[in-house]
Amino acid sequence: MTKYDIADIRLAPKGKSRIEWASAQMPVLELVTRRFQKEKPLKGLKLSACLHVTCETANLMIALKAGGADTVLVASNPLSTQDDVAASLVKDYGMAVFAKKGEDNKSYYSHIYAALEQGPHITMDDGADLVSAIHKDPAKYMRNIFAGTEETTTGVIRLRSLEAQHKLLYPIVAVNDAQTKHFFDNRYGTGQSTIDGIIRATNVLLAGKNLVVCGYGWCGRGVAMRARGMGANVTVTEIDPLKSLEAVMDGFRVMPMTGALKYGEIYVTVTGDTSVIRKEHFLKMRDRAIICNSGHFDVEIDVKDLRKMARKVRTMRDCVEEFTLPNRRRIYLLAEGRLVNLSAAEGHPAMVMDMSFANQALSAEWVAEFHDSLDKKVYRVPEAIDKEIARIKLKSMGIAIDVLTKEQVAYLSAWEAGT
Ligand code: ADE
């Protein structure tokens, strides 16, 4: 019998049609699924995945199962689970799922441990919470593990820190670092889904608003670009001189947080670091400022301090809390400071998750085949996989591109030609 802990199995029909709807936007993953069905590259392998439980993720799990893997899926964030999708995965696809939207910390970690008790050969993480739990108790959880994959920037940072300290216990592929992942998912996915989350939570008009993007990595670039597209006046805060320069030349105002506080009406943190909006900032914000986070963990806004400072807290709408400060100004916090795009909206659209999850599936196949020759290191997705995904994606969009002529190939490999 399938093991599971989900909110409500009766939600399955709604989840199933949403999974199918997403599938239509995921042609690369569909091709992978069809090949996996025939070749069964993951046969006999147990795979534990800690990912956002969305309809896009459901299609990845279907691909892995088609490849022969015995899977368990748990949430990688307490607020991102789509309960109807969890229900359908259990009921219609016979998958073990442990995830409930709004679960508390205790339940979140009990689900992580449930995934590890399966005794996986491969781990698939989004934020490295499985890896972190394994490294805290390797005697208990390392039993069968021979490799893993990691979806996101924050997770890869944690892995590289383990690797630098020579503590990484098994090889892990940094899916995030594939070009067909971060160029698209982090930029266009986060850009659109973050704006979607802000709008669904608040229904504010972005045109003419002063919006502050904290962090100008791939995600920050996407949020800034899309906010400008909606007519917002965008200010960027950064700590890296190169990224700051890029933001300036992309046409954004760049300044330290202290300067941005005078203008900001909406703030979005996407830095991957902690305490980006903190105690010293709250009292200097304009009345009715909206603050939210689109970085992986809920550490970018010091929510505990905000709660402590507040004279009054009330819920205004789903995902919107009002904090009245001692200076009588109000701050609106979205989605408890957790990923606003996955908590207040549905995360990145399937069209972009198609490439991210094709990278995941093909990386799982790659480690299944080559794990004997891998060291305890963080690996890049092989370039051949990355390029193939781009090729198939273009083809699925009906877009043909040029090829080099023989003469051009020769020119590129010659050094003699000059002025
Ligand atoms: N991360 C961001 N958006 C996502 C989505 N739609 N599904 C799974 N993981 C995501």
Domains and CATH numbers, the chain: 9-181+348-396 (3.40.50.1480), 190-343 (3.40.50.720)
Cα of 19 vs centre of ligand 1, distance in Å, is 13
On whether the CB atoms of residues 102 and 26 are closer than 8 A, the answer is: no
Q: Choose between 410 and 419: higher pLDDT.
A: 410
Cα of 191 vs centre of ligand 1, distance in Å, is 13
Residues 50-63: pLDDT tens digits?
A: 999 999 999 999 99
Cα of 361 vs centre of ligand 1, distance in Å, is 15
Rounded mean pLDDT of 214-238?
Answer: 98
Cα of 59 vs centre of ligand 1, distance in Å, is 11
Distances (CA, A) of 87 to 2, 11, 52, 115, 125: 12, 6, 14, 17, 21
Rounded mean pLDDT of 25-40?
Answer: 98
C-alpha count within 13 angstroms, C-beta hemisphere, residue 178 = 31
Rounded mean pLDDT of 27-34?
Answer: 98
Residues lining ligand 1, CB < 6 A? 51-52, 54, 56-57, 189, 342, 347-348, 353
Partner residues linked to 233 by β-bridges: 210
Which ligand 1 atom sits nearest the alpha carbon of residue 56?
A: 7
The rounded mean pLDDT for the chain is 97
Which ligand 1 atom sits nearest the alpha carbon of residue 54?
A: 7
Pocket test for ligand 1, best of 82, 97, 348, 356 (most atoms within 8 A of CB): 348
Residues 284-318: pLDDT tens digits?
A: 999 999 999 999 999 999 999 999 999 999 999 99
* pLDDT the model gives residue 251: 98
The pLDDT of residue 120 is above 90: yes
Pocket test for ligand 1, best of 19, 77, 80, 343 (most atoms within 8 A of CB): 80
174 confidence band (pLDDT: 50, 70, 90): very high
Cα of 284 vs centre of ligand 1, distance in Å, is 34
Cα of 125 vs centre of ligand 1, distance in Å, is 12
Which ligand 1 atom sits nearest the alpha carbon of residue 339?
A: 2
Residues 81-91: pLDDT tens digits?
A: 999 999 999 99
Rounded mean pLDDT of 404-409?
Answer: 97
Phi/psi of residue 51, nearest 5 degrees? -135, 165
Pocket test for ligand 1, best of 50, 53, 54, 357 (most atoms within 8 A of CB): 54
Which ligand 1 atom sits nearest the alpha carbon of residue 126?
A: 9
Cα of 319 vs centre of ligand 1, distance in Å, is 18
What does the alpha-carbon distance between residue 316 and residue 9 come to, in Å, rounded to a whole number?
30
* pLDDT the model gives residue 419: 78
Read off the amino acid at residue 157: I
Which ligand 1 atom sits nearest the alpha carbon of residue 350?
A: 6
Partner residues linked to 97 by β-bridges: 4, 73
Which one, of 200, 199, 255, 257, lies nearest residue 231 by Cα? 199
- Could you tell me the strand order of the sheet in which 70-75 lies? 4-6, 96-99, 70-75, 46-51, 122-125, 147-150, 172-174, 378-380
Cα of 204 vs centre of ligand 1, distance in Å, is 24
* pLDDT the model gives residue 78: 94
281 confidence band (pLDDT: 50, 70, 90): very high
Nearest CA residue ID for atom 9, ligand 1: 52
